[in-house]
């Protein structure tokens, strides 16, 4: 059994969850832990059968035992070297996912990073392999802001989009928020349709960096609308992702190099991890 833990909450997007699920699907027996219960249920929708919300990462020890394998995607308490070392020592294999280009690997852990290379480091980009599979493309322009919009920023952004997009709702959107947004979009789709819609997307605008990668893997022409600083920023720049600006023509949305993404992707990461497991 491989255990995975992802930090989630209803004010954050689920980029960490989606990239960790992508890796979890490469193994036969996995148990996914998230911080909040709604994200755990969404993990099941994404294809992980055994999931649980545990509220606090310190409850991991209620699920796992000393010597188990843990894949850890969180920044909780990692600035505390003592706690970090305790986790490394407790688990038989402590595998940490980090997209922070300034991060460093600690002795005894295995680090998955799109930026770093070296001993004990697996370099790659976590994207669910389902996005690389052939899927009939539509030309409906899709927009995905992200999973959370606690401050309702999208109400300020949406009028600037020109009315040509259909919206995929975020998992943590307030009840009734779709009614406020509907006038700005051709169609509003529930979050449960995220996977199928993205796999069939021909044009995608998103403020979620993980969604930008998934849309690019699916063959969509993509543009990225950054909300602020992101640990993905350097990676997206290296991949040549178009940054959205008001009035950007749809013709300037750009495909990503799917072959390069696949060869740096989840299958290659799993194969590299097998040397450590």
94-146 pLDDT, tens digit per residue, is 999 999 999 999 999 999 999 999 999 999 999 999 999 877 888 899 999 99
Q: What is the pLDDT of residue 81?
A: 86
* CATH for the stretch 130-260: 3.40.50
Q: What is the pLDDT of residue 56?
A: 85
Q: What is the pLDDT of residue 276?
A: 87
All residue ranges of the chain with pLDDT < 70 are: none
CA dihedral of 225, 228, 232, 234, whole degrees rounded to 10: 90
Q: Where are the domains of the chain?
A: 2-123, 130-260
Contact 7, 75 (CB under 8 A): yes
| DSSP, res 204 | E
Domain 2-123 has CATH 3.40.50: yes
Which residues, other chains included, contact 138 with Cβ-Cβ below 8 Å and sequence gap of 6+? 200, 201, 202
């Amino acid at each position: 059994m491989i255990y995975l833990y992802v930090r989630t909450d209803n004010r954050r997007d689920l980029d960490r969850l989606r990239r960790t699920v992508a890796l979890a699907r490469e193994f036969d027996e996995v148990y996914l832990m998230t911080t909040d219960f709604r994200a755990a249920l969404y993990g099941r929708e994404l294809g992980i059968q055994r999931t649980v919300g545990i509220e606090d990462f310190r409850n991991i020890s209620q699920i796992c035992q000393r010597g188990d394998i843990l894949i850890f995607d969180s920044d909780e308490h990692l600035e505390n070297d003592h706690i970090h070392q305790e986790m490394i020592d407790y688990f038989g294999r402590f595998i940490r996912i980090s997209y922070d280009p300034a991060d460093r690997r600690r002795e005894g852990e295995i680090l998955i990073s799109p930026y770093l290379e070296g001993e004990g480091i697996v370099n790659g980009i976590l994207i669910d392999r389902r996005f690389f599979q052939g899927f009939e493309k539509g030309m409906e322009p899709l927009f995905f802001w992200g999973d959370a919009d606690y401050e309702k920023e999208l109400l300020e952004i949406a009028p600037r989009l020109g009315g040509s997009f259909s919206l995929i709702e975020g998992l943590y959107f307030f009840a009734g928020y779709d009614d406020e947004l509907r006038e700005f979009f051709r169609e509003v789709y529930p979050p449960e349709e995220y996977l199928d819609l993205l796999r069939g997307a021909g044009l995608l605008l998103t403020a979620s960096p993980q969604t930008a990668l998934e849309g690019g893997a699916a063959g969509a022409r993509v543009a990225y609308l950054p909300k602020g600083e992101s640990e993905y920023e350097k990676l997206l720049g290296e991949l040549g992702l178009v940054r959205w600006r008001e009035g950007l023509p749809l013709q300037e949305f750009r495909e990503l190099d799917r072959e390069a993404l696949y060869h740096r992707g989840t299958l290659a990461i799993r194969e590299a991890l097998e040397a450590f497991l």
